[in-house]
Structure 1
Amino acid sequence: MVGLGYVGQTLAVAFAMAGSSVVGLDTDSHVLREIEASRTTFYERGFEEDLRRVREQNRFGVQHAREPLPKASNYVITVGTPLKNGRVDLDALEASFVSVVSQMPEDSLVVVRSTVSVGASRAAMSKAVSRIGKRFKLAVAPERTVEGIALEELSDLPQIIGAVDEASAAAATGLFATLGVEVVRVSSLEAAEFAKLASNTARDLTFAISNELAYLADELNVDVYEAINACNAGYPRANIAPPGPVGGPCLTKDAIILATSTRAMERPSFALAGRATNTYLTQHVLSRIADQISAPPKVIGIIGLAFKGAPGTSDTRGSLATDLACQAKAYWPETEVIGWDPVASMSEEMRTHVRATTLDTLVTQSKIVILQTRSDYSASPEMLRALERLPRDATIVDLWNQVPLEFRDRPDLTVLTLGRTSSAMNQEQKRALVA
């Protein structure tokens, strides 16, 4: 397993639990030390117990990527492919590909699990063949699990397989069949690459429709939740999702990767328009806050720093919290942004914009509190008790419609819910009642 981030670790443990012997490679010494100690580097409920079990069974070992490549029959590449200057950065993938092919036994299987632009796997193969001249099998098996329940989905979700030839397809099918799941074979490497990008682009667009409706509802002073519930009630042709933040390491980039695989950047693109609609959420939220206050806030608190809360994850990549903090500083340069999350710790990028604090400090110091993630914890008794300690005349920005009615009805609080302006008293009325 080449790459031991979230995708690599969970897939390695899944294969090990299915009976395979797995060796994981990574360049991050901290990650290797943690795995060697049977500790995971991310939060997923129950995962550390499974990691410890396969380590005790000697089914999952690790080593630094600069060490000689272990001899195996299958090599799965799961290195990160972030966006760089608006395009997917394939440097780590291409370097890993060359390293694997140059050292592996002849006729081994290489599986690309990383998210890539359409055609990238074949291009990497061509470079490796021309440079090294070794015969090998090649397949693309894109990752599609949801963070927080990856192991559960790896034993349940169908695996898409696209390969360069029949021998490669058969080898990759046999490998992933050990997980006990259905294998969906497509005709080429490119079809599998496209399927992954298409899946996340469609999901991104689904949420973009919901967020566009929320923006319109706020402008028209109607309740978007009332409208969505009415649309969906017993009507088979509507399945509109609730609005809210759209983040993470996949949805924030895959539509762009798909678009840049084609000429979509040169013409009107629904996929790119959807991405822009979801990105606009930050500006929409801060504009609504600005309309409610008469002076720049001294402190803004963000509750929920991970990119999502259900299922729970510690991953802050692509989280709206970072964007909210960064743009809040552009609105109000003297404002301090503080943040808290029940499981996530801040990334280096997030720490440049947000100061970590406790939940108690956040609610007692912030006149504006943004509930950024949706999770069971957000409506827990502990959270409700914390919100009770908010300062007088504070504003709660509820991005997922989670705040109970008793908070919405309090005259000393303003609750701004995305797409629900009409559901709360206006600011002048509340101020009159407080006075």
Structure 2
Amino acid sequence: MEINKIVCVVGMGYIGLPTAALLANRGYRVHGVDVNEHAVNTINEGKIHIVEPELDTFVHSAVNSGMLSAHLEPKEADIFLVAVPTPFRYDQKNEITDSPIPNLDYVKSATKAIAPFVKPGNLVLLESTSPVGTTEMMAQELKTFGIDLNDIFVAHSPERVLPGQIMRELIQNDRVVGGINEDSTKAAAEFYRTFVEGEVLETNAKTAEMAKLTENAFRDVNIAFANELSMLADDMDIDVYELINLANHHPRVNILQPGCGVGGHCISVDPWFIVNSANGKAKIVEQARRTNDYKSEWVVEKVKNEAKDFEKEQGRKPIIACMGLAFKPDIDDLRESPALFITQQLANMHEVIAVEPNITNFEGLRLVSEEQADSADILVYLVAHTQFKQHKKCSKALDFTGLFKKEQ
């Protein structure tokens, strides 16, 4: 595929912006679109509004070269790439599983926005992690605007990147590509092979959608085992980290490390897409999701009990410092963060200060430095940020990250 093409990227967030910057640096002329005017202005200044290693260099280079610009509206292009959120309606429940209902409004809005600009020969790609059938739904939405699906190519290719390593993994990771028909699959695969060094694996749209959900459900189930094990070990007065280390000496056992829950827009969300459409048959997937959600509530109870003991001994309520708000170490991403949930729950009952080195403020919480947190009565470690590892564990610290586990 020749690189002299225009790509319209809708959604300039954690996936859309890195993808847009990479494409622009590979020779595509990229028209980025976002509803957030601050994000648009920031990008056009050659700067970034999210934290991701190396992204600032890619964006600065792409904008300065004139290959990347950001806008509030789409325009005509050769390729349309949709990377918008696919959250849940937590106020609505599936009647069978009592699980949240997927919210595809952003995908529908993006489809409606690009429809007037789609012309014969265009490739329309959905990268948003979505329930099975969403790509076909997007195609049918385009059809309602008078677009002949025989004249365009529509496909799904879910991102498979790790925050903190996005720029490298966008290039090196294998990519699953699935179209609504064989021609769409081929067209999409040809596009991704222009910048992906990993293998581009061809399938159909439904299988591509399910592949991403399967990958994250697999991880969620394995994390749930570790989190459940940590709660059982606590009841039995066993060091869960020593336990896992010993068990992992078995040649066919590899237990993950427990935490305070599971966050991020992928692992904590995607399994619900499977549960919601499985009519009660995704029992292991559903239970894992509920176990990981419950782990956060369990942590809240553990801290509350520690606070009660402190109040009995000292005659006053403690000041609690929550260490970390992001959903994983060394990033600024708070989406579905169990650490943020725990901190907010505790702040409803106690005087809470929070330390999150990757953000400057958060409405409703008092953010302080690590040094200021040392004066708190109870330190609660929720995220294993690299700089936290330099702290020495004291008697007033509760560690739910494994930061202070014994060296084995």
Structure 1 contact 316–344 (Cα < 8 Å) conserved: no
Mapped partners of 2:67, 2:225: distance in 1: 45
Which residue of 1 is the match for residue 122 of structure 2?
Answer: 108
Structure 1: unaligned runs, 5 residues or longer: 389-393, 407-435
CA-to-partner distance for each residue in 1:166-223, whole Å, 9 max, x for gaps?
Answer: 2211211111111132344343211011011111111111110101110010011112
The aligned residue for residue 338 of structure 1 is 353
1:148 shift after superposition: 1.0
**Which residues in structure 2 correspond to 1:79-94 (within 5 Å)?**
79-85=84-90, 86-94=100-108
| Aligned-pair CA distance for 1:268 | 6.4
CA distance, structure 2, for counterparts of residue 180 and residue 113 of structure 1:
15
Structure 2 SS opposite 1:215: helix
Is 2:334 the partner of 1:323?
no
| Residue in structure 2 matched with residue 400 of structure 1 by the alignment | 401
Contact 1:252 1:318 in 2 (8 A): yes
Instruction: Give the structure 2 partner of residue 369 of structure 1.
Output: 379
The answer as to whether partners of 1:315 and 1:344 remain within 8 angstroms in 2 is no
Question: Residue 141 of structure 1 corresponds to which residue in structure 2?
Answer: 157
Match of 1:429 in 2: none
What pairs up with 1:260-271 in 2 under 5 angstroms? 260-264=276-280, 267=281, 269-271=283-285
Deviation at 1:329, TM superposition (A): 4.5
2:3 maps to none
Task: Encode CA deviations 1:351-394: one digit per residue, 9 max, x unaligned.
Answer: 33x22222222221x211111111321213xx44xx77xxxxx6
Q: CA deviation at 1:395?
A: 1.9
Structure 2: give runs of 5+ residues left out of the alignment. 1-8, 91-99
The alpha-carbon distance between structure 1 residues 297 and 118, as it changes in their structure 2 partners (threshold 3 A), is: farther
Is 1:13 the counterpart of 2:21 in the alignment? yes
- In the TM superposition, 1:8-407 aligns within 5 A as 8-65=16-73, 69-85=74-90, 86-134=100-148, 135-233=151-249, 235-245=250-260, 246-264=262-280, 267=281, 269-292=283-306, 293-294=308-309, 295=311, 297-309=317-329, 312-329=330-347, 333=349, 335-346=350-361, 351-352=363-364, 354-364=365-375, 366-380=376-390, 383-384=391-392, 395-403=396-404
Distance 1:191 1:297 in 2: 54
* Contact 1:339–1:355 (8 Å) recurs in 2: yes
Q: Which amino acid aligns with 2:29?
A: S
Question: Which moved further from structure 2: 19-28 or 210-219?
Answer: 19-28
Q: Which amino acid aligns with 1:378?
A: F
Contact 2:193 2:200 in 1 (8 A): no
Taking the aligned partners of 1:271 and 1:84, their CA distance within structure 2 comes to 19
Question: What secondary structure does 1:132 align onto?
Answer: coil
* Aligned counterparts of 1:157 and 1:136: Cα–Cα separation in 2: 27
Confirm or deny: 8 A CA contact 2:174 2:200 kept in the other structure: yes
- Once superposed, which parts of structure 1, at least 4 consecutive aligned residues long, lie more than 6 Å away? none
User: Secondary structure of the residue that 1:5 maps to in structure 2?
Assistant: coil
Letter in 2 for 1:80: P
Distance 2:298 2:396 in 1: 16
Partner of 1:427: none
1:207-261 Cα deviation digits (max 9, x unpaired): 101011100100111121122111111x221011111132111111111112112
Identity of aligned residues (%): 26
1:77 and 1:93 in contact (8 A); partners too = yes
Distance 1:289 1:337 in 2: 12
Q: Secondary structure at the match of 2:27?
A: coil
Gap change, CA 1:206 and 1:253, over 3 Å in 2: same
**C-alpha spacing 1:375/1:358, structure 2 compared with 1 (3 Å):** closer
Partner Cα separation in structure 2 for residue 222 and residue 360 of structure 1: 32
- Number of residue pairs aligned between Structure 1 and Structure 2: 382
Question: Secondary structure of 1:75's match?
Answer: strand
How far has the Cα of 1:45 moved from its partner?
A: 2.1
User: Residues of 2 paired with 1:326 and 1:339: CA distance?
Assistant: 10
Instruction: Name the CA distance, whole Å, in 1 between partners of 2:182 and 2:300.
Output: 53
The Cα of 1:404 is off from its aligned counterpart by 7.2
Give the RMSD, CA atoms, in angstroms: 2.1
For 2:382 and 2:360, locate their aligned partners in 1 and report how far apart those are by CA, in whole Å. 15
Shift of 1:290: 3.6
TM superposition score normalised by structure 1: 0.83
TM-score, length-normalised on structure 2? 0.88
Q: Is the 8 A contact 2:77 2:117 kept in 1?
A: no
Q: Secondary structure at the match of 1:247?
A: coil
Q: Is the Cα contact below 8 Å between 2:173 and 2:196 reproduced in 1?
A: no
